[in-house]
Amino acid sequence: MVSRRVGNAVARNHVKRRVRDWFRRHRTMLSDAEDYVVIARPGAAALDGPAIAAELSELVAQ
């Protein structure tokens, strides 16, 4: 679920699709013993696919 503060329905769905796609592509580098919660902030709608992927990769690497 993405907050309405992120944008209209199109923008929210775009962010959700990008995040789900990143998790699908990087399933092998993620631990099955951990849960991941992604909270999309209002600026997330302005990011393109590679920027979202870079943010998620950086966070998971920490």
Q: Quick check: 24 and 56 in contact, CB under 8 A?
A: no
* pLDDT in the model for residue 18: 93
Q: How confident is the model over 2-61, as pLDDT tens digits? A: 889 999 999 999 999 999 999 999 988 888 888 889 899 888 889 888 999 998 899 888
* Greatest C-alpha distance within the chain: 34
Q: Rg of the chain's alpha carbons, rounded to an integer?
A: 12
Amino acid at 27: R
Q: Quick check: 55 and 43 in contact, CB under 8 A?
A: no
* pLDDT in the model for residue 54: 92
Tokens describing residue 58:
């950086």
